[in-house]
Structure 1
Amino acid sequence: MSECQEFQSNPERPVPPTAPLSRASITDAAIDFIEEKGLTKLSMRALASTLGCGTMSLYSHVKNRDDLIAAIVQELLERSRLLQVTGTTYPTWQEQIRASLFAYRDLAAAYPASFELLALAPYGVAPVAEHLEGIVESLRRAGVPADRAYVVLGALDAYATGFLMVWARTQAEADGTAPVEPSPLTELRTLAAFDHGLDVFIAGFEREFTP
């Protein structure tokens, strides 16, 4: 009998049948929960209720909420194209940058409510550190001067994270509300504007790297 099935045997708390618990199934359910109800509503108790299990059952697979967040960050990376992009050598550093930032943008579009967990994850913790070092190495392979690769990463991450955090949160909070009338100001916060801003960044780096 699985942990969920055992919990379901309580006649005072009927819940629908669920699959056996695992770290992966808990992580998947947490992402679905965040996208449906919002990050602020996520707690171990709320997630356990969604899964139809006792809260303590979760702790057999995730140590605590911080460990759950780490698992979500890892899963978001794996669901994105980011790892694939950093493992690919592109003909130019411009193409490498565009591929990396477009993958980051697409992740924000696919998981607007969960995106900030990856976007705001500390640089020095796994799996973020390994991913960022992978980006630096991919930039070097594509021709970014070795002494500038970290500077390029920092500037691009500051731009992309700041822009996409605001955009993603706007998308998550706008669900079910009346659409905002287009205006010159609202056009500043579109994905088309993000792409244009990225082109401006790349043009600036081109001038810096050109002898």
Structure 2
Amino acid sequence: MANPQQARRAPLNRERVLHAAVALADGIGIEALSMRKLAQELGVVPMALYKHVANKDELLDAMVETVVGEIEAPAPGADWKSAVRRRILSARAALLGHPWAAEVIRSRTGPTPAVLAYLDSVIGMFRAGGLSVDLTHHVMHALGSRVLGFTQELFDAPPGAAPAAEPSPAAQTPYPHVMELAAAVAHDDGSVVGPGCDDQFEFEFALDLLLDGFDRLHRQGWSPRTNFPVS
């Protein structure tokens, strides 16, 4: 966090407000972020912030824009599949660096201009690779939030929940296949996919499956009219 005395010496501008807000949210969490705390961090009165952001909603949108600005630019000359993969993994790295960002993106009623520009660039990669508009439309639906590097798991553990106990091989259970799978993996803490899962591996595994599938459909000349004919 910035030294308030040093903060007072630097002129306040929108960029400085946003970078301070991102750093503060990284440190205390997005729920704890307030205009008052941000003003204290910057060494100014809260009213000074409103010259640069109209309200907290605008602040949150602008913070998302700042984080999205960290995503690596598309690599020139790469084939579409590797270019999309690299772009999405860069988005994942940016959002993992700011754990609150995915929550804020999900909470907004629509994408910010920076998010729209990012989505436009990814769509453009598919189109430049020769995928049809129809296929690209379905591709973006299939990717969902994964296009920005995060996924919503089927069941999220509640905050502070204890990790699941190791299943006993001899334990009787009405869910033998679930228990078999749970017992087969090496368990690590902190995974959002589930106890024992490597989030980055699981994300890349699913992403590669999707990209390979999109490529196969593209090579087959897939279209919704030929593959799902209307009776």
TM range (shorter): 0.7 to 0.9
- The match for 1:127 among 114, 128, 144 is 114
Equivalent of 1:196 in 205, 219, 222: 205
Q: Partners of 1:30 and 1:179 in 2: how far apart?
A: 32
Say which one has the larger Rg. Answer: 2
Show the counterpart of 2:34. Answer: 43
2:219 match? 210
Q: Distance in 2 between matches of 1:93 and 1:75?
A: 26
Question: Deviation string for 1:165-204 (max 9, x for gaps)?
Answer: 66xx99xx79xxx999952842435111111111111222
CA RMSD of aligned residues (A): 3.1
Taking the aligned partners of 1:64 and 1:141, their CA distance within structure 2 comes to 39
Alignment length, in residue pairs?
Answer: 187
AA aligned opposite 1:111? H
1:32–1:125 distance in 2 versus 1, CA, 3 Å: closer
Residues 61-110 of structure 1 show CA distances to partners (whole Å, capped at 9, x for unaligned) of: 111111111211111121221xx12xx45443211221121111111222
Deviates more, 1:109-118 or 1:154-163: 154-163
Matched, 1:150 2:150: no
CA–CA distance in 2 between the matches of 1:141 and 1:200? 20
**Structure 2: gaps (5+ residues):** 166-185, 189-193, 221-231
Give distance in 1, aligned partners of 2:148 and 2:109. Answer: 13
Structure with the higher helix share, 1 or 2 = 1
**SS at structure 2 position matched to 1:39:** coil
Which among 31, 34, 46 is matched to residue 22 of structure 2? 31
* Contact 1:96-1:138 at 8 Å conserved across structures: yes
Instruction: List gaps (5 residues or longer) in structure 1.
Output: 1-14
- How does the TM-score come out when normalised to structure 1? 0.74
Q: Give distance in 2, aligned partners of 1:97 and 1:77.
A: 16
Deviations 1:105-147 (A, max 9, x none): 1112222233433465444542322321222122211222232
Amino acid at match of 1:37: I
Instruction: Note if contact 1:31-1:114 (Cα within 8 Å) is conserved in structure 2.
Output: no
Report how far residue 154 of structure 1 moved. 2.5
Which AA in structure 1 matches 2:125? Answer: S
Question: Structure 1 residues 119, 134: closer, same or farther in 2, change over 3 A?
Answer: farther
Give SS of 1:186's match. Answer: coil
Cα contact 1:116–1:165 (8 A) shared by 2 = no
